[in-house]
Structure 1
């Protein structure tokens, strides 16, 4: 009797495929195990078993599987249920969710590139014959495909060999980012063991009687040891007057011994962190959250910036892990995990695991297995949105910090899910609770909280009764007129930075554009260099003296003359973080300025390097993009400056005002978090603009009511759900025809508002023209599922039209 399994492949396929297995394999296999299967022409993929059955497929002959890759399921049934929901709600295939959810090392396929690791020493490791053959092949060529390994070993079952080599750190998959950052090591000095006895010590002094400086150094060492009562660092010795040359001479003579210890760059004192108590207001909020969880599964904690929300999360996490359940702590930005990991490990020790995309394959696989096993090492998982896909056994609580952040929404590739909404569904499957925290909640979240769908708790005073920062508006239109601007800084801003630095405080400056200038313009004919593949101007980077496209990565050297009229009169327009950093270096040459944006934080420890330096007061002025606005905690920031508030306000997006308000309030919240009252300076051409006035008075309610009124009038969330359909093709006319056909069919069949087809602001990327269609579905009523099915059916008939088949269609549900 034949035996079959349903296998999902990590590809965008509408349904799983059936493969044949023998009786022994059928008995051994379980849902959630991985199998290596052939698919298409000579390609191997890592598939996931969904179900077992004995019904042969009707339309094709079932192929045999190559091999079983696991001894036990790697994916739980709850995970599969969650993936099915994501696939159906966000209108993508289960294969795309599977590919996005699994760490790359679990998804080897015939096209995967394998490279050898330079730090691996084959002599120290026991390699089997097969492993050595692969290792040897990599010594003669830079990379191998999995398919090439099959021919080297002359066998089909090669995935276990590759997995063993990965585990031994002999090879890495794809191009993992090379690490330029090393953990911080501190150099310590101690006396060689033989000199610790009294008699040897007098001998030593005798030996050193002629080397006075070395003798003094040893005496100094003893004095320090008696007074400091902890290991002596080389730095302490040099500060006490012992030169590096004398230390080296004593090390060479085997009198001193040097040793190194790794040390965290951010140190937290136990007094402030591990044994903290909640303030009365925090305690009250904490009790209200627990009461709210009795009635509601989801609660919103609306606490102003620096009100101490993290301490409340920690106390709540403590209660949940005491009952033996797991906790997931989601953050919008990898930069935030750096600070938080230290705070949580100071409190929970080794029970904290971290999971995000800057971690290597090995590290992600390790965390996956710890979570699956319910290990003590992964009681609390901190991560960015991808941590949502981990195989939790018994999830009790999900904390979503800064829940309003747009980075919780995955843009490309599919699944285009929103981590906040998907986390609420995951919690529901585990019968867990969800706490959403924010100083500026998303309008939909606040609407749900005030309309009884979620619980609602507020925290309206800053921790330690610190006064909220004073917000000062600077009208730069007036400043330019009066010639009181130096570069992009008004005289008022320069004075404020000078005063803050003089008082020993640090400064954060915010400009949400990276690069030096957004574009370069010819002053003779007005020509602006454009990207040849995208409909966008090239950004100028002074440091590299190059022009770069932020959409496709195209770059050219900075032109010396205009490409159109050959004039040499070229000028840069607008300004980004790189230009601000340069201006600061000329305005404050004696101060250390640094910038934090996507260009300076590449690599796993890119964020840590900058955040640690700022925390340790090595950086005086930090310039950055929106990364800076996300819940980072620095004690010594006296002032925050927003260099141009207007470029956030005037975006072609119905959320522009909400986002601008959130961004400015969050950036302002970095100031004056301890002790003195902080100051926030906002440079703007429109000081009377409603949103800027609401930021000044911290009037969230006013902004919310105003935006809600507009949303209701123009049929936007929370009153309507949006689905954006994007069409892309290289042929402009073909795209235009196909978009019009799709729009007409949708608007005739759906009976709800359909907008489009429109050209977005940037209507060509990587040589593909773009058209978008927006479908608005009323939130009231139960038409969401039926409408999505109708849209999928219409897209099915769209693909059946031969001339429209080459047009690429992507669907984005809730395009936040």
Structure 2
């Protein structure tokens, strides 16, 4: 009786493929093991075995597999179930999910490139003959393809040999290697408290008469200290006073100065950081008990805690309980750059039980983390990660925490699967009968709606930790300010006065402008022409630091033009403003203070983000200007003023979520102010100060915003009342895109009638020379989602069968953001 297996290939195929296996292989194979299989004429892929049976395929003859790559399953049964759900819900292929879920090193294919590890220590005794041949070839050339290894060894089944070399840590697969994050320490100096009184001080200066350089160093220490109220770094002292490090060292030796180190990780905790257990305040304790009660009846709890209310401590307490029961906890965050502060904090409590998983790790590091979790090792009790961490092979998940659940970065845009990590995390927890906590200071409307309709438990925490007051929010009407000539560049007199006042007392300022670059549009005063990108339908943005005009969609750039490209007139001006322009203006207004910018242009490198945050933390930077990167849950102790440069360009956006999103952004950015004893201040500049959303932000009125937005969503048939599926067609041929979109929309309108919107071009209709056209399908609550998707799938199949439309790419996005 022949045996067959169905496998998931790492390709966007709609169904699983069947291969033939022998009886011995059938007895050995388990679901979730990797097998190397031939596919097409000459390619070999690593596939995951998903089912074993005895029914031969009807349409084609099953090929035999090449070999089995694992002794034990690499993918758990829970994962296979979860993948199947993601593929069906988000309408993509299981192969797409497989590629997103497994670290690349597990998915060898004939195109993979093998390189010798830099510090590889090859012991001949430990390496088999064939493995040695591969290493020898790699010592002669820097890298080889797996197909070349087949030629070197003259055999087809080479994947097990390469796998063995990867496990012996002698070779690495195609990837860059990043170092792991290490917390940095910085040396500071202060005066020994013994010399605090005047008599001892005079005595000391007399004693130092014989060591003039040491005395000079001490005096310059005092003068620098008098000017700046900040802690003084050893480096700064030697730079500013011109004293060599050796002299500072001798002052430290004599115990006149004391040196102390501070870790630059971002986790500074204003309370006593007790490593053994957390003392929750009374209000936190109440919220903690409410969450526990809520999770008795419901599987999901929405935790609405205002900024700086101490949500993290409550999560840690909940995680503690889960681990005590021998289960695993997953902590999902929107931005990996912030996790450095959280990792340190969690490691302080849980030691080495914390693992981190994200895209900045090298493939080998990701493989290591994956294996720890698969083996359910002690190291893998808590996993912190970005959205991709939901795909890890949990054995015994007890709790999932999704922090900042309103964040749009939880949604994957490209490539497929276009999943939303928050929604998928709820399903993942369900598979394990685990509990989920969604935390946010500004919850998404959908989650809040679910909580209000008792689908989720709901807990509120509306006081800041340590009873610190929420920041005072003031709105500045810049329309009037421009009329009265009270503006300086893009700053109102009110904003400048507040910045000056904050800087004078040694505090820091954050300014928020959600546009990078110097100015978004360059325009000719004579003929009105502005330079456009040749590949996309957008104007080029001016970047002053490298004097270029750049396209933010495809990266096209040209040098800044001296005259108009259309009429040669030298009169060209810039319109609008980005973070770069604010930085330039600030440097002119406050030349004595250090300003820095945090946006995509300044945080390209792996550590750029951390360096900026560290410098700001240690008060090397006085004013930080940034885009929405700044809004994510960062915790700076010394920020007393937050300025929003222009609230209007957030609000005037062609998207039904624009108002909700601007409310969240503004409130989150405001939450960075005054997080310690002193009350912070937030200034919002706007041309339209009476706009409802701006008023609601100024009062922190989430409930008011929710009520208004919900009414609009109900009237215009948007989530949470209707589900959405967006279909985007992309093609280089303009008329073909139109024809294809019209055909598809007509097919959908036959079935779904008035619930189909479009086809229409998005605001940017051409990107990288491809035309985009969108069709939006709205699904009412009473309509079955499963059936709707089946019908849509059938329409898509008919569409793909038309020869003329072969060149059109179709992207299906379920629950678009």
- TM > 0.5 fold call: yes
Does structure 1 residue 767 correspond to structure 2 residue 766? no
Larger deviation, residues 688-697 vs 38-47: 38-47
CA shift at 1:552, angstroms?
Answer: 1.9
Q: Residues 795 and 328 of structure 1: is their aligned pair in 2 closer, same or farther, counting only changes over 3 Å?
A: same
Does structure 1 residue 90 correspond to structure 2 residue 99? no
CA shift at 1:27, angstroms?
Answer: 1.6
Q: Residues 505 and 170 of structure 1: is their aligned pair in 2 closer, same or farther, counting only changes over 3 Å?
A: farther
The residue aligned with 1:803 is: 804
Does structure 1 residue 713 correspond to structure 2 residue 715? yes
The residue aligned with 1:258 is: none
CA shift at 1:583, angstroms?
Answer: 2.5
Q: Residues 23 and 544 of structure 1: is their aligned pair in 2 closer, same or farther, counting only changes over 3 Å?
A: farther
Larger deviation, residues 622-631 vs 674-683: 622-631
CA shift at 1:242, angstroms?
Answer: 9.5
The residue aligned with 1:665 is: 667
Are the aligned partners of 1:292 and 1:299 in contact in 2 as well (CA < 8 Å)? yes
- Secondary structure of 1:299's counterpart equals strand
The residue aligned with 2:607 is: 605
Query: Equivalent of 1:421, from 415, 420, 423?
Result: 423
Unaligned runs of 5+ in 1: 189-211, 221-232, 250-260
Does structure 1 residue 348 correspond to structure 2 residue 347? no
Larger deviation, residues 107-116 vs 469-478: 107-116
Are the aligned partners of 1:358 and 1:603 in contact in 2 as well (CA < 8 Å)? no
- Secondary structure of 2:535's counterpart equals coil
CA shift at 1:236, angstroms?
Answer: 13
Larger deviation, residues 366-375 vs 108-117: 108-117
Larger deviation, residues 125-134 vs 800-809: 125-134
Deviations 1:690-747 (A, max 9, x none): 0000000111111111111111110001110001011111111111111111111111
Query: Equivalent of 1:545, from 547, 559, 578?
Result: 547
CA shift at 1:143, angstroms?
Answer: 4.9
CA shift at 1:778, angstroms?
Answer: 0.6
Does structure 1 residue 43 correspond to structure 2 residue 43? yes
Are the aligned partners of 2:267 and 2:345 in contact in 1 as well (CA < 8 Å)? no
The residue aligned with 1:255 is: none
Are the aligned partners of 1:752 and 1:775 in contact in 2 as well (CA < 8 Å)? no
Query: Equivalent of 2:750, from 733, 748, 752?
Result: 748
CA shift at 1:659, angstroms?
Answer: 0.3
Q: Distance in 2 between the 1:169 and 1:497 partners?
A: 54
The residue aligned with 2:380 is: 378
Larger deviation, residues 611-620 vs 171-180: 171-180
Are the aligned partners of 1:177 and 1:604 in contact in 2 as well (CA < 8 Å)? no
Q: Residues 521 and 149 of structure 1: is their aligned pair in 2 closer, same or farther, counting only changes over 3 Å?
A: farther
Are the aligned partners of 2:758 and 2:774 in contact in 1 as well (CA < 8 Å)? yes
Does structure 1 residue 155 correspond to structure 2 residue 155? yes
The residue aligned with 1:629 is: 631
TM-score, with structure 1 as normaliser? 0.88
Q: Distance in 2 between the 1:165 and 1:566 partners?
A: 63
Q: Distance in 2 between the 1:307 and 1:15 partners?
A: 48
Query: Equivalent of 1:511, from 510, 513, 517?
Result: 513
CA shift at 1:489, angstroms?
Answer: 1.8
- Secondary structure of 2:389's counterpart equals helix
Deviations 1:507-532 (A, max 9, x none): 11111112222232233322222221
Corresponding pairs, count: 769
CA shift at 1:238, angstroms?
Answer: 8.3
Deviations 1:39-95 (A, max 9, x none): 123222111100112222221222222222211111111111111111111111111
Does structure 1 residue 120 correspond to structure 2 residue 119? yes
Q: Residues 588 and 759 of structure 1: is their aligned pair in 2 closer, same or farther, counting only changes over 3 Å?
A: same
Are the aligned partners of 1:359 and 1:604 in contact in 2 as well (CA < 8 Å)? no
Are the aligned partners of 1:67 and 1:157 in contact in 2 as well (CA < 8 Å)? yes
- Secondary structure of 2:726's counterpart equals strand
Q: Distance in 1 between the 2:121 and 2:520 partners?
A: 49
Does structure 1 residue 29 correspond to structure 2 residue 54? no
Q: Distance in 2 between the 1:420 and 1:753 partners?
A: 26
- Secondary structure of 2:683's counterpart equals strand
The residue aligned with 1:12 is: 12
Unaligned runs of 5+ in 2: 189-209, 219-232, 251-260
Structural mapping, 1:182-193, within 5 Å:
184=184
Q: Distance in 1 between the 2:153 and 2:496 partners?
A: 67
CA shift at 1:131, angstroms?
Answer: 5.3
The residue aligned with 1:65 is: 65
Q: Distance in 2 between the 1:268 and 1:642 partners?
A: 25
The residue aligned with 1:146 is: 146
Are the aligned partners of 2:511 and 2:626 in contact in 1 as well (CA < 8 Å)? yes
Q: Distance in 1 between the 2:590 and 2:243 partners?
A: 34
The residue aligned with 1:496 is: 498
Q: Residues 262 and 440 of structure 1: is their aligned pair in 2 closer, same or farther, counting only changes over 3 Å?
A: closer
Q: Distance in 2 between the 1:181 and 1:397 partners?
A: 26
Does structure 1 residue 572 correspond to structure 2 residue 574? yes
Q: Residues 797 and 570 of structure 1: is their aligned pair in 2 closer, same or farther, counting only changes over 3 Å?
A: same
Q: What RMSD in Å do the two structures reach over aligned CA positions?
A: 3.2
Structural mapping, 1:362-761, within 5 Å:
362-751=364-753, 753-761=755-763
The residue aligned with 2:103 is: 103
Q: Distance in 2 between the 1:763 and 1:57 partners?
A: 44
- Secondary structure of 2:273's counterpart equals helix
The residue aligned with 1:256 is: none
Deviations 1:252-274 (A, max 9, x none): xxxxxxxxx99664465793253
CA shift at 1:151, angstroms?
Answer: 2.8
Q: Distance in 2 between the 1:782 and 1:815 partners?
A: 18
- Secondary structure of 2:60's counterpart equals coil
Q: Distance in 2 between the 1:609 and 1:124 partners?
A: 40
CA shift at 1:654, angstroms?
Answer: 0.3
Q: Distance in 1 between the 2:65 and 2:813 partners?
A: 34
The residue aligned with 1:2 is: 2
Are the aligned partners of 2:177 and 2:363 in contact in 1 as well (CA < 8 Å)? no
Q: Distance in 1 between the 2:583 and 2:65 partners?
A: 57
Q: Distance in 1 between the 2:789 and 2:166 partners?
A: 42
The residue aligned with 1:289 is: 291
Q: Distance in 1 between the 2:234 and 2:497 partners?
A: 40
The residue aligned with 1:227 is: none
CA shift at 1:682, angstroms?
Answer: 0.8
The residue aligned with 1:257 is: none
- Secondary structure of 1:757's counterpart equals strand
CA shift at 1:160, angstroms?
Answer: 4.0
- Secondary structure of 1:581's counterpart equals helix
TM-score, with structure 2 as normaliser? 0.88
Are the aligned partners of 2:355 and 2:383 in contact in 1 as well (CA < 8 Å)? yes
Q: Distance in 1 between the 2:557 and 2:121 partners?
A: 40
Structural mapping, 1:311-330, within 5 Å:
311-330=313-332
The residue aligned with 2:790 is: 789
